[in-house]
Amino acid sequence: ELKVEQNPLFLSMQEGKNYTIYCNYSTTSDRLYWYRQDPGKSLESLFVLLSNGAVKQEGRLMASLDTKARLSTLHITAAVHDLSATYFCAVPSGNAGNMLTFGGGTRLMVKP
């Protein structure tokens, strides 16, 4: 059974600082997805990583995928308050690889 673990589960940081969120998964996968969720809201797609070594950047966020290590990272550069949210990674699973198994989420709070 696929397990997806994120750490840290909670992250409080000052504006302007850098930090990395880690996503480990237990079985082979060549794809991984990152989502953002604001309180009471839906999931917003951030990154779709489709191969080993994939790196994508959008603003202050950068995501990478190492399929051999079964690890993805979401790096935050010079955090701002607007980045405060919960971040989830998700890995395809199921017989056809069409369902997603989510990590438990990382709740990020960026303090002014």
Partner 1 sequence: NAGVMQNPRHLVRRRGQEARLRCSPMKGHSHVYWYRQLPEEGLKFMVYLQKENIIDESGMPKERFSAEFPKEGPSILRIQQVVRGDSAAYFCASSLTGGYYGYTFGSGTRLTVV
Is residue 20 within 8 Å of 78, Cβ to Cβ? no
Residue nearer to partner 1 on the CB measure, 22 or 77: 22
- To partner 1, the closest distance from the beta carbon of 101 in angstroms equals 7
- Nearest distance in Å: CB 60, partner 1: 21
Binding site for partner 1 (CB under 8 A): 31, 33, 35, 40-45, 48, 50, 88, 90, 92-105
Shortest gap between Cβ of 78 and partner 1 (angstroms)? 27
Sequence-ordered list of residues with C-beta below 8 angstroms from that of 111, at least 6 positions apart, any chain: 12, 13, 14, 15, 81
How many CA atoms are closer than 13 Å to the CA of 27, on its beta-carbon side? 11
